[in-house]
Amino acid sequence: MRRRYTLLPLLGLLLLAPSFVSASDLLLEAAYAAILRGDYDSGRTTINDLLTKDTELQDARQALTWLDSYHEVVASRKDLKAKTFDWNVTEAKKAKEENDLRLALAFAAQAMPYAADETEYAQQPWIAELTKEAKLAAGKYERKGKWDLALGYYSFLSRIHEDDETIKELRKHAVRHARVEYAYEDEEALERRLKDVDKRLLENAIQMVSRLYYEEPDFKQMANGAIENLITLAGASKPQEFLDGLANPALRDHFVQKLEEISSDIKNRERFSQRDLERVFNTVAFLNRGSVELPEALLVVEFVEGFISELDDFTGMVWPVDAREFDKMMMGGFEGVGIQLGVDEISKRLKVVTPLENSPALEAGIEPEDLIIAVDGESTKGWTTDDAVQNIMGPGGSEVVLTIFRPETGQRLDFKLVRRKIELHTVQGVERIPGKTDNKWNYMLDEDTGVAFIRLSNFLPKSEDELERALREARDQGMRGLVLDVRHNPGGLLDVAIDVVSDFLADGEVVSTRGRVEREHRERVGGRARYRDVPLVILVNEGSASASEILAGALQDHNRAIVLGDRTFGKGSVQHVRGLGNDARLKLTTALYYLPSGRTPHKAPDADVWGVDPDWHLRLTPKEFRRVLERQRDVSIIRNGAAEQPEALSEEDREKAVAELKDDTAEDDEDEPFLTEEQIERLDGDPFEAPDTDPQLETALLLIRVKLAADVPWPRDLAAAFDTDRRP
């Protein structure tokens, strides 16, 4: 039911008000309060009434200007959603008439986020018919062993039927099969994955889970997952090309039959312990020796991956082959030349998105959009970004030569770079200050009202120092209110998140942790809070996880900030990394986080409630989401503008030069793509582009502008003060 706000109670206030408080002031305060509750209609009506009586009320006129600007964003969103939905539905039905099932399904899924009523849309007869056809097609590909194509169908279906349990299970089954096909695509991939793996890792992993997991492990369910993984492995087509035992139908069928018998026995058991799980592996190993004779290390990997998949989404193995990359991720830095990599759409060659701050690449003069065509004289044709990382990164002090093609000028340039430690920066502002050689940020979103903006992309060891510096600079630039953006922030170090909370909260609990074995531990802040009085809106979305959720949830619980955006990811759990030997590690969930209110952000299997629910719900459409990411990318780009550049090529010559570098390696891939390039081009042919605005940021800006003008606390009933049909 839509709530309506009435201003009738104000009549009594006006009669009782002291003589020095004018009726205009009281009405303007009421308008501000209505806006902060989300009741824009009441706020606008009151302001218009005031201006009818007195056109010189500058504060009222300013507030009306803010509302008008925001109304344009809301109206534009509504119009864009309707047009985008209609276009996708029309194209889906057209593709269906052309018997192009995959394209029709893709268009139907692409329409879903733009539907006025998603439930009604998913139940439309033509969608039901399309769903039935897609399930049948996926089943055919399953029987052919083409799991990547089956997964394509289920992935699009899950976007249309998000809560359909059958589709969820079908997709999970296809993911399991597709993972095996990808992980063991050739003998080299197999050898790389199994390097330094032995049975001792499995035994240590089981013991760690039994002893430290945050709740009592379900060993029976773990055993089921392990056996299911091994059955999946036995039926995978690619490993059969280089594993003789799996290539033999008789041996393979015998092995699978015995695995299914073990699975049936497990399901019929009432009690199942850690020892029983270990015995299952020993039984499997014995059967293997008498049939398909797979490497024991392969059994270990798939058995462990299978039982871990039945725990929670954040417990996982770091196998010896992945240890180096894991360490780099955990350290928040790496040794290399400092380049953010991408792939050029035309040539399919490695592209420099931007050189990183204080890096050898930036200092040498490497530019955004440069194409890396060779590394140490070896062509990069056919390389993935992972290949590039492996070859460009290296020990500090060592040299690497990058051969660059610069599309802007047609130059081929060699850069001899000396690798060194690269520190990742996690704080951004609105834009870099033009003309500054030190790449400093402008943090002011609205200089007139003093609204600042800071994006925090991670919680790394130096993130708090970066944020402190940014807050000081923002204050010097005129900050009176702040939008803190932790959208797409995956989290990081808990102590850093607590330090960030302490910048804004004077005293109180931030988070507590407790598990099955771990004692309850509480973290509080108190003392400094240099910015305790700065009005604060925190932007979140489904990519905000872990430490981001603790930051947003704690400040929300203390009524210190308004949280705006979409429900967060739901990683409310503590992982400890335990060594298992041979450089392998187990990342194990040992406890859950609890916010000051007692809730946990943890997303349990089949949960209906998780994460941090915003005070102000506003979900971006995919178009808007991409636009936000583009803006974040664009402001992060650093250009070397000092050196004199040769004359630029014409657009025609530039396109021709880039096309000559085209990497055709991918076109020789034997695997059939779910959608062809022509289908993707048609899918991307939507003529309705999202404007260069960020609706979540615009909403936060309006709230802080009004908050600063009204100088009142955030209303505690903000989230309940309006319904979905009033949201932008």
The predicted-structure confidence for 433-481, as pLDDT tens digits, reads as follows 887 667 789 999 999 999 999 999 999 889 999 999 999 999 999 999 9
Catalytic residue among 81, 96, 571, 623: 571
Q: Is 196 helix (H, G, I), strand (E, B) or coil?
A: coil
Inform me whether the pLDDT recorded for 215 exceeds 90: yes
Q: Which of the listed CATH numbers 1.10.287, 1.10.10, 1.25.40, 1.10.540 matches domain 79-178?
A: 1.25.40
CATH T-level fold of 427-621: 2-enoyl-CoA Hydratase; Chain A, domain 1 (3.90.226)
Tell me the pLDDT tens digit for each residue of 198-213.
Answer: 999 999 999 999 999 9
Tokens of 692: 């260069």
* Predicted pLDDT of residue 720: 39
Domains 333-423+652-689 and 427-621 share a fold: no
Annotated active-site residue 218? The verdict is no
Annotated active-site residue 158? The verdict is no
Write down the residue that tokens 């990519």 correspond to. 543
Catalytic residue among 457, 502, 546, 548: 546
Q: Mean per-residue pLDDT for 370-375?
A: 90
* Predicted pLDDT of residue 728: 46
Domain ranges of the chain: 79-178, 187-311, 333-423+652-689, 427-621
Tokens of 544: 């905000």
- Burial classification of residue 107, based on how many CB atoms lie within 10 Å of its CB (0-12 exposed, 13-18 middle, 19 or more buried): buried
Q: How far is CA 227 from CA 221, 279, 454, 696, in A?
A: 10, 12, 48, 46
Of 252 and 663, which is predicted with more confidence? 252
Annotated active-site residue 546? The verdict is yes
Most confident of 172-176, 183-187, 219-223: 219-223
* Predicted pLDDT of residue 716: 56
Inform me whether the pLDDT recorded for 623 exceeds 90: yes
Catalytic residue among 557, 566, 663, 694: 557
Confidence of residue 331 (pLDDT cuts 50, 70, 90): low
Cβ within 8 Å of residue 110, ≥6 positions away: 88, 622, 683
Tokens of 122: 């998913």
Cα separation, 306 vs 322, whole angstroms: 18
Q: Where is average pLDDT lowest: 79-88, 105-114, 411-420?
A: 411-420
* Predicted pLDDT of residue 15: 40
Inform me whether the pLDDT recorded for 644 exceeds 70: no
CATH T-level fold of 333-423+652-689: Pdz3 Domain (2.30.42)
Q: How far is CA 176 from CA 206, 229, 302, 677, 692, in A?
A: 21, 7, 11, 26, 39
Q: Mean per-residue pLDDT for 590-616?
A: 91
Q: Mean per-residue pLDDT for 159-181?
A: 91
Tell me the pLDDT tens digit for each residue of 492-538.
Answer: 889 999 999 999 999 999 999 999 988 899 999 987 889 999 999 99
Cα separation, 295 vs 279, whole angstroms: 18
CA gyration radius for the chain?
Answer: 29
Tell me the pLDDT tens digit for each residue of 589-601.
Answer: 999 999 999 999 9
Most confident of 6-15, 360-369, 466-475, 489-498: 466-475
Q: Is 442 helix (H, G, I), strand (E, B) or coil?
A: strand
Q: In this structure, are residues 130 and 108 in contact, taking their beta carbons and an 8 Å threshold?
A: yes
Please state whether beta strands 573-581 and 481-485 pair in parallel, antiparallel, or not at all (unpaired). Answer: unpaired
Mean pLDDT (the chain) is: 87
Q: Sign of dihedral through CA atoms 556, 627, 664, 673?
A: positive
* Predicted pLDDT of residue 18: 47
Q: Where is average pLDDT lowest: 25-29, 369-373, 702-706?
A: 25-29
Of 713 and 192, which is predicted with more confidence? 192
Q: How far is CA 567 from CA 118, 571, 610, in A?
A: 18, 12, 8
* Predicted pLDDT of residue 158: 95
Cβ within 8 Å of residue 252, ≥6 positions away: 234, 235, 240, 245, 246, 292
* Predicted pLDDT of residue 562: 94
Confidence of residue 387 (pLDDT cuts 50, 70, 90): confident
Cα separation, 717 vs 461, whole angstroms: 36
Tell me the pLDDT tens digit for each residue of 274-295.
Answer: 999 999 999 999 999 999 999 9
Confidence of residue 386 (pLDDT cuts 50, 70, 90): confident
Tell me the pLDDT tens digit for each residue of 233-248.
Answer: 999 888 999 999 999 9
